Chains A and B, each alone.
Chain A
Amino acid sequence: MSIKTEEMVLNMGPQHPSTHGVFRLKLHVSGETITKAEPVMGYLHRGSEKLAEGFIYTQFIPYTDRLDYLNAMTNNYVYCAGVEKLLGWEIPERAEYLRVITMELNRIASHLVWWGTYLLDIGALSPFLYAFKDREIVLDRLNEISGARMTFNYMRVGGVKWDAPAGWIEKVQETVKQISESIEMFNTLVTGNEIFQSRTIGVGKLTKEQVIDWGLSGPIARASGVNIDLRKTEPYSIYDRFDFDVPVAEEGDAYARYKVRIAEIRESIKIVEQACSQIPAEGEIIHKKGARIMMIKPPAGEAYTRAEASKGEIGVYVVSNGKTKPYRVKLRRPSFVNVAILQDLLVGASIQDVVAIFGSLDVVLGEVDA
């Protein structure tokens, strides 16, 4: 007599502590080993691209906040930059600096959230709270300048909405100093931990070829030795004025992605520090026509604009027909593209690795589902 065994289909999600939102992984498991993985998404689809077609250009900015709500500044930026490209506008100097400072602060906040939640996924409780404590200081700064903690709606076509309040730049300098001290503590607490390393080293290995083939970007790509950081390779805004490194690792596993992100926080701090010392004390913060939102009518044309978000390459393809509303806005969301690799990456992993791998991709569901 032979024992009949059957493959088990395990639905991880849509409601599951580790899917960071409403995301479903249909896992075929034999024991605890995954034989097939199928990501199911769309539970959070709000039709952002459709909505864009019904709004004038400026009205769509708050919707970009809600894509990757952990890194909304870059979303704001890339959309505005996309429209500005069609308009051919020059952005005032001070506005560019404010954009860079807020984007980099937001990147720090986003990586901190990732750091905390990733360790929570792996089973360490405390780092989550340490990370959120530090993130809160960063969000305070962003709150002071934009009036919101997460959905900033700060940038405008042609510049930014608000100037920095008095003393804000000094406060930012203080904040990044604090963060860089915390990073040291994080390293002591987690990076060298034996159990943490055994959970992440060699887990979810991605080769350089896979990364390029699947169109992966951001820290995931850089952890596999693909040295592409749009801030360096295709300097947008005023990133060419700052001196910073692009952290790259060769191993391509979850631990490499961890290291790259931690190093990226340090680089962002460097950029913020430089921007804070270079920023002109006075000046316009928005293009002279930018404030008159009904007048934003890009000439007919289309362009793809991309920027480096904390999750990877965020892009926007804007098609204009010369009217006040965009004809088509396509959003290239890094998480959406990155999440596709799960089909390949999870096969052969164990259920415990699923959490470690999925977490290491740093996926935000608001962005996956648009």
Chain B
Amino acid sequence: MELVYIILYAVITLAVLLGAVTYAILFERKVIGYMQLRPGPNRHGPWGMLQTVADVMKLLMKEDIIPKNADKKVFILAPIIAFVPSFAIFASISWSDNIYGADLNIGLLYFIGISSITTLGVLMGGWSSNNKYSLLGAIRGVAQVISYEIPLVLSVLGVVILVGSLNFRDIVYYQESIGMWLIIPQFLAFVVYMISAIAELNRSPFDLPEAESELVSGYHTEYSGFRFAFFMLAEYVYAYAIAALATTLFLGGWLGPAFLPGIVWFFLKMSVIVFFWFWLRATLPRARVDNLMRFGWKVLIPLALLNIVITSIIKVWMG
């Protein structure tokens, strides 16, 4: 019986996620459209509601092209390796007080561990395509993601020290008990987390691995059809996962005034974070590789370490 629940939960999550991603893409295009003085997609369905559906249909019906000189097995495997972990991490997210998948003791550890596998998909995709732009994109991507994973993890450690648990539900309950969201005591960590998350997700202004104006399309230059859709999906699902993590750790998860159910609060908070990323994309130019690396290693990591030290001192001082 338990197995049925697990499968059911996974299927529902997937379905909701696909729907969410569909409308996240529309949301992004609309938001950026309005910021750029244009209406955004508005041809398919009312308010362009079916635009992404049409796009996905097109991608699914496209011819499946594998470049002749590509490493075929790796090429096929790469999008799957990129997508599966980003989906798997949703198992540990707790949407509300009573809607959750696995109540893991090591939720945070699981999340961070599994999510780093996505990088492998990027590297495999870029390498196997046998395309110079893909390779450059993949190298950039891997260097960037690995560099920024360190400040990301270090920034989260502050929360763990305060709460004393890696369990997502415990973290939210802790915020309920102290009566404030952890963004307030852990503001520095939140800033470091948000910046690293952008780099981690390859989003503008740190979208170097797929910098269109330089590398055509980066590591997925040679991908088309549903394999490309998988990369795309992985990217957005991962974005939602990172936003969900930020919501849980810093914004009090499902906590909020009682007139709305917890899950709605959770989604609202997530959406605000996602909106923030779209906003950045519409505003900022792309950073340069060397500056990006320098910023990660010389600014974010020391800041994250500083945050750990401060948090530890406070924790000890408060007993």
Direct contact of A and B (CB under 8 A): yes
Does more than half of chain B's interface fall in helix, strand or loop, or is it mixed?
Answer: helix
- Residue from A124, A190, A196, A352 within 8 A of B289 (CB atoms): A352
Which residues of A lie under 8 Å from residue B289 when comparing CB positions?
32, 350, 352
Is B67 interfacial (CB-CB < 8 Å)? no
Is A287 interfacial (CB-CB < 8 Å)? no
Which of B153-161, B206-214, B250-258, B309-317 has 4 or more CB atoms under 8 Å from chain A? B206-214
Within 8 A of B (CB), among A180-202: 189-190, 193, 195-196, 198-199
Is A130 interfacial (CB-CB < 8 Å)? yes
CB pair B213–A193 under 8 Å, yes or no, is no
**How many residue-residue contacts, CB under 8 A, span A and B?**
80
Which of B29-37, B52-60, B187-195 has 4 or more CB atoms under 8 Å from chain A? B29-37
Closest to B214 in A: A355
- Residue from B38, B140, B283 within 8 A of A124 (CB atoms): B283
State A195–B32 Cα separation when bound (angstroms): 20
Within 8 A of B (CB), among A81-139: 119-126, 129-130, 133
B99 to chain A, nearest CB (A): 36
CB pair A129–B285 under 8 Å, yes or no, is no
CB pair A199–B286 under 8 Å, yes or no, is yes
A350-B290, A354-B214 given as contacts; is B285 within 8 A of A196 (CB)?
yes
State A8–B135 Cα separation when bound (angstroms): 11
State A306–B211 Cα separation when bound (angstroms): 39
Is A10 interfacial (CB-CB < 8 Å)? yes
CB pair A351–B287 under 8 Å, yes or no, is no
Is B44 interfacial (CB-CB < 8 Å)? no
CB pair B285–A124 under 8 Å, yes or no, is yes
CB pair A120–B213 under 8 Å, yes or no, is yes
Within 8 A of A (CB), among B149-183: none
**Most chain B C-beta atoms within 10 Å of own C-beta, residue among A18, A125, A130, A199:** A125
Within 8 A of B (CB), among A160-212: 189-190, 193, 195-196, 198-199
CB pair A18–B214 under 8 Å, yes or no, is yes
Which residues of B lie under 8 Å from residue A354 when comparing CB positions?
214
Is A289 interfacial (CB-CB < 8 Å)? no
CB pair A8–B284 under 8 Å, yes or no, is no
Which residues of A lie under 8 Å from residue B214 when comparing CB positions?
18, 351-352, 354-355
Which residues of B lie under 8 Å from residue A10 when comparing CB positions?
132-133, 136
Which residues of A lie under 8 Å from residue B38 when comparing CB positions?
129
A130-B37, A355-B214 given as contacts; is B288 within 8 A of A350 (CB)?
yes
Which residues of B lie under 8 Å from residue A355 when comparing CB positions?
213-214
B32 to chain A, nearest CB (A): 7
Is A45 interfacial (CB-CB < 8 Å)? no
A120-B213, A351-B136 given as contacts; is B288 within 8 A of A125 (CB)?
no
Q: How large is the interface on B (under 10, 10 to 19, 20 to 34, 35 or more residues)?
A: 20 to 34
State A355–B216 Cα separation when bound (angstroms): 12
State A18–B214 Cα separation when bound (angstroms): 7
B133 to chain A, nearest CB (A): 8
State A354–B291 Cα separation when bound (angstroms): 16
- Proximity bits, A332-368, B CB within 8 Å = 1, else 0: 0000000000000000001111110000000000000
- Residue from A18, A121, A129, A196 within 8 A of B36 (CB atoms): A129
Does more than half of chain A's interface fall in helix, strand or loop, or is it mixed?
Answer: helix
Q: How many residues on the A side are at the interface (Cβ–Cβ under 8 A)? A: 30
Is B129 interfacial (CB-CB < 8 Å)? no
- Proximity bits, B211-231, A CB within 8 Å = 1, else 0: 111111000000000000000
Is B262 interfacial (CB-CB < 8 Å)? no
Is B51 interfacial (CB-CB < 8 Å)? no
- Residue from B36, B208, B291 within 8 A of A125 (CB atoms): B36
Within 8 A of A (CB), among B278-299: 281-291
Is A50 interfacial (CB-CB < 8 Å)? no
Which residues of A lie under 8 Å from residue B37 when comparing CB positions?
129-130, 133
- Proximity bits, B30-50, A CB within 8 Å = 1, else 0: 001001111000000000000
State A187–B95 Cα separation when bound (angstroms): 43
Which residues of A lie under 8 Å from residue B207 when comparing CB positions?
123
State A10–B215 Cα separation when bound (angstroms): 11
Is B141 interfacial (CB-CB < 8 Å)? no
State A300–B284 Cα separation when bound (angstroms): 57
Closest to B208 in A: A352
State A355–B140 Cα separation when bound (angstroms): 16
A266 to chain B, nearest CB (A): 23
- Residue from B36, B215, B286, B287 within 8 A of A130 (CB atoms): B36
CB pair B36–A123 under 8 Å, yes or no, is no
Is B204 interfacial (CB-CB < 8 Å)? yes
**Most chain B C-beta atoms within 10 Å of own C-beta, residue among A123, A189, A198, A351:** A123
- Residue from B216, B283, B287, B291 within 8 A of A126 (CB atoms): B283
- The 7 A-B residue pairs with the shortest CB-CB distance, nearest first, are A123-B286, A124-B285, A129-B36, A122-B285, A18-B213, A123-B285, A121-B213
Please, could you name 15 A-B residue pairs with CB atoms under 8 Å apart, sorted by A? A18-B214, A120-B213, A123-B207, A123-B284, A124-B285, A126-B32, A126-B35, A126-B282, A129-B37, A129-B38, A130-B36, A199-B288, A351-B214, A352-B208, A352-B288
Given contact pairs A8-B132, A17-B212, A124-B286, enumerate 14 new A-B contacts (beta carbons under 8 Å): A122-B285, A122-B286, A123-B284, A124-B283, A125-B36, A126-B283, A129-B36, A193-B284, A195-B205, A195-B284, A195-B285, A195-B287, A350-B289, A354-B214
